[in-house]
Structure 1
Amino acid sequence: MGYAMTFAGPRRAVTVGTLVDAAFAVLLTVGFTLEVAVVSSRHPAWPVGAAFVLCTAAVCGAALLRRRYPARAAVAAIVLCAVAELIDWRTDQQGQPAPIACLALLVVVASTVRFLSPAGAVAVAVGSGVVAVGTVERYATYLARDIPNARTATLVMVVGWLVAVTVGLWRRFGDSRRRVTIDRVRRAERLALARDLHDVAAHHLTGLIIQAQVAQLDGAADPAATRAALTGIETAGAGALASLRQVVRLLRDDEPVVTPGSAALAELVDRFPLPGARARLDLPDGPVPAGWPPEVHVGIYRIVQEALSNVARHARDARTVTVTLAHDGRTVRLRVVDDGHPGVSGGRPGHGLLGMRERATGLGGELSAGPGTPNGWTVEVRIPTPVVS
């Protein structure tokens, strides 16, 4: 469900934007048609009438192109409305720029104040403000002559300009906050991936070191064992390189996130890098539900990976390791148990344990770790059961 919303959102936004632009285009067409009729009814000299009609048409066209060419649309709308004002001032044609041109200008102002650079937004606000003042002056003259049409146009320019600039600035502020939020989330994701990179490298490099030590011990006495150890080192090295590449790819915006599931968890346990030991995965409640959120899948996978790496580093005499993952309607219980003895440090503390606890806490759960009875080591994680969507 989450991914469907992610991909459907942009398409829905594009559809709504297209519908809004189409409705706006219809409105401009109707307004322009009425303006042509009004200009024709006044019977101005044809160059003046043609100039008014062309200015109105061009301003409406600029408004329709405001998304694709915001700066050019703003300049064109402001200049053309100013030209219409000057022509009206010289010819006293009563009503220029046209109301529909004023509306188109205000839409352009709201849009470009939102998207242009700070300097460009200020220039658009000031330039359109000058045009608004000039238009109000023109219509104030017509108001004094008691021309009904002038009152509506004056209100459009006085209130409309304030609304257009305010809306543009408000949406600009909202875009800025949204970018800050996205950047914060991305930084958090990259920090988490950096921890993943540590886990992946530690897990695979531990296996390589152990197999290299085995090859050194058995090399002189058993060439076949040496070849087998070198083959294992090659396989483990290739797996380490692939895992590191996968984590690095996740740091790039254009790469998809691969969510580990039951199959990946089983493969991880099967690749446990401790010669002579046997690791097994126990799923008493069945496979991991595919509908769990990706962070839960990845968190469980990384905790198991680090726990197995700790066994390989600190309990090399272990012979069995059991990974149990149980889940019901309330709790997910992960348990990693081995039968080895702690290393010379007498315990298993370190960055790995801190990382596992951090992951468990991040999932809303808790982690406990300590020596087993009579020997071995136990790592246990309990987190709330994720809601399957």
Structure 2
Amino acid sequence: MVLAGGRITRRRAGLAGVLVEAAFGVLLAAGLALEVAVVLSRRPSWPVGLALVLITAAVCGAALLRRRFPAPAAAAAIVLCGVAELIDWRTGRQGQPAPIACLALLVVVASAVRHLPGAAGAVAVATGSAAVAAGTVERYATYLAQDVPNALTATKIMVAGWAVAVSVGLWRRVGDARRRAMVDEVRRTERLALARDLHDVAAHHLTGLIIQAQVAQLATDADPPTVRATLAEIETAGAEALASVRQVVRLLRGDQPELPTLPGSLAGLLDRFDGTGVRAALDLPDGPPPADWPPEITAGIYRIVQEALTNVARHARDARTVTVTLAHAGRTIRLCVADDGQPGRSARPDGHGLVGMRERAAALGGELSAGPRTPTGWTVEATIPAPGGS
């Protein structure tokens, strides 16, 4: 079993982002080269020409660094474009800031309005860029009065560009906030579900501790080996109980049915899933899991499978089969839920169900990924440290 689908999806998404940034960098480089040619053709004094080229280059650089340093990039782009306008106003060097600098500024503004923490930062960037846009419009209006070609078009583009940049930034900011709120709610729900496991896990271990303590009390002073052995068992059971409670404890405790055990509970779960019209199969390449797995491990695996099957029922309506594979050789438990649905299904790799499953896997010290498989279908894959593994 190869746990690669989710990682491939994330790798492709990261590669797409890199390609977009590379294309944007090429565009900025081409625009900067064009601006250098324009400045040289107008033959300004060398300090003015050098200043205009350096300002354009710096604004383009700020645009490339906008995601890593949103606030400094936005401040630098706004100030530099304002300086370019002042140079234009004092020297009459038409078209400053340069068109490519204006484009870079608008991209920085949209990104900063989206990502800057707090409303004050977004408002400051929107206001500062509005002032720069107004100054640019004033410059273009001056050239328009002088019958300079394309001045009216440039004015319209700058006004519309600022409005679009701020609007897109605000729209994405609101969308990000809603997404974070939904993810936080899903995580809270999943953590509460983990809290409900606490009672059962604690009861499992503490019952054994109580029984062993009772045995120690019944042992007489004439049988010290039995007392010592019982105390050693109590120490071991106490350490196991502490580890389990630390792993599963969260916020609250609510009513919860008895935790499932493997593999019988998985077989029952798949039998019930057969009623949806999708044939389900359980594959145990390493045989049934050990009976002494901690309850939190069995509960986590059960609920990951349960949520994955729910996603199959909701999103893979054209799927005919789904296979649950549980391997546990070595130090890692590997779980895979794969269906054969066709590409283009509406499942989302960042949906709420997947957020909950990732939270469940992370609580057990593991990780979970999801994504399309080749040639068809969808796969949910989890790796969890095996009990006792190092």
Query: TM-score, normalization: structure 1?
Result: 0.62
Distance 1:301 1:134, change over 3 A: closer
Partner of residue 214, structure 1: 215
Q: Deviations over 1:17-43 (max 9, x none)?
A: 221221111101111111111222222
Q: 1:285 to 1:155 in 2, by over 3 A?
A: closer
Using the TM superposition, give the Cα deviation of residue 9 of structure 1 relative to its aligned residue in structure 2, in angstroms: 4.9
In structure 2, the CA distance between the partners of 1:81 and 1:124, relative to structure 1 (3 Å rule), is: same
For 1:27 and 1:120, locate their aligned partners in 2 and report how far apart those are by CA, in whole Å: 28
Structure 1 residues 157 and 285: CA distance shift in structure 2, 3 A: closer
Structure 2 residue aligned with 1:165: 166
Whether the 8 Å contact between 2:244 and 2:296 is mirrored in structure 1 is: no
Decide whether aligned partners of structure 1 residues 124 and 263 sit closer, same or farther in structure 2, where only a CA change above 3 A counts: same
Q: How many residues align?
A: 280
Residue 146 (str. 1) matches residue 163 (str. 2): no
Aligned to 1:242: 243
The residue number in structure 2 matching 1:92 is 92
Match for 2:57: what amino acid?
A
Q: Which runs of 4+ in 1 moved over 6 A?
A: 299-302
2:197–2:296: 8 Å Cα contact kept in structure 1?
no
Deviation per CA, 1:241-276: give whole Å up to 9, x if none.
33224335x89xxxxxxxx984899xxxxxxxxxxx
State percent identity of aligned pairs.
70
Cα–Cα, structure 1 residues 35 and 151, in superposed 2: closer, same or farther, change >3 Å? farther
| Letter in structure 2 aligned against 1:195 | R
Q: Structure 1 residues 89, 299: closer, same or farther in 2, change over 3 A?
A: closer
CA RMSD of aligned residues (A): 3.9
- For the 8 Å contact 2:248–2:296, the answer to whether it is kept is no
Counterpart in 1 of 2:197? Answer: 196
Which residue of structure 2 aligns with residue 337 of structure 1? Answer: none
Q: Which moved more, 1:55-64 or 1:158-167?
A: 55-64
Q: Which amino acid aligns with 1:247?
A: V
* Conserved? CA contact 2:208–2:237, under 8 Å: yes
Structure 2 counterpart of 1:99, which letter? P
Query: Which amino acid in structure 2 is aligned with residue 154 of structure 1?
Result: T
Local SS of the residue matching 1:148? coil
One-letter amino acid of the structure 1 residue matched with residue 33 of structure 2: T
**Whole-Å Cα distance in 2 between the matches of residues 197 and 133 of structure 1?**
61
What amino acid sits opposite 2:28 in the alignment? L
Q: Deviations over 1:314-338 (max 9, x none)?
A: xxxxxxxxxxxxxxx99xxxxxxxx
Q: Do the aligned residues in 2 keep the contact of 1:218 with 1:226 (CA within 8 Å)? A: yes
In structure 2, the partner of 1:31 is: 31
In the TM superposition, residue 184 of structure 1 has moved relative to its aligned partner by 1.2
Find the counterpart in structure 1 of residue 124 from structure 2. Answer: 123
Answer yes or no: is the 8 Å Cα contact 1:102–1:156 preserved in 2: no
Distance 1:54 1:91 in 2: 17
Q: Deviations over 1:66-115 (max 9, x none)?
A: 12222111111111111111121222222111111110110110111111
Equivalent positions of 1:1-389 (< 5 A) are 4=4, 6-117=6-117, 118-219=119-220, 225-247=226-248, 262=262, 297-298=298-299
Please tell me whether the aligned partners of residues 5 and 379 of structure 2 are also in contact (alpha carbons under 8 angstroms): no
Q: Aligned partners of 1:285 and 1:61: how far apart in 2?
A: 54
The alpha carbon displacement at 1:149 in A equals: 3.3
For 1:206 and 1:88, how far apart are their aligned partners in 2? 82
* Contact 1:81–1:97, Cα closer than 8 Å, also in 2: yes
Q: Please give the secondary structure, in 1, of the residue aligned with 2:97.
A: coil
Kept after mapping to 2: 8 A contact 1:113/1:125: yes
**CA 1:142–1:105 in 2, change beyond 3 Å: closer, same or farther?**
same
Change (3 A) 1:12 1:220: same
Cα distance in 2 for partners of 1:193, 1:2 equals 28
Distance 1:285 1:146, change over 3 A: closer
Report deviation, 1:216: 2.8
**Residues 208 and 237 of structure 1 are in contact (CA less than 8 Å); yes or no, is this contact kept in structure 2?**
yes
Contact persistence 1:103–1:156 (CA under 8 A): no
Give 5+ residue unaligned stretches, structure 1.
252-259, 266-283, 303-328, 331-361, 363-386
Which amino acid letter does the alignment assign opposite residue 98 of structure 1? A
| Counterpart contact for 1:70–1:112, Cα < 8 Å | yes
Q: Distance in 2 between matches of 1:105 and 1:158?
A: 13
CA spacing shift, 1:238–1:60, aligned 2, 3 Å:
closer
Shift of 1:297: 4.4
The alpha-carbon deviation at position 6 of structure 1 amounts to 4.8
Bigger CA radius of gyration: 1
Instruction: Note if contact 1:63-1:104 (Cα within 8 Å) is conserved in structure 2.
Output: yes
**1:171-214 CA-partner distances (Å, limit 9, x unpaired):** 11111112112211221222122222221111111111122223
Aligned residue for 1:56, secondary structure, equals helix
C-alpha contact 1:36 1:53 (8 A) present in aligned 2: yes
**Taking structure 1 as reference, are residues 55 and 201 closer, same or farther at Cα in structure 2, changes over 3 Å only?**
same
Per-residue Cα deviation, 1:119-147 (whole angstroms, up to 9, x for no partner): 11111100100110111111122223333
Mean CA deviation greater in 233-242 or 128-137: 233-242
Unaligned 5+ runs, structure 2: 252-259, 266-281, 290-294, 304-320, 323-355, 357-377, 381-390
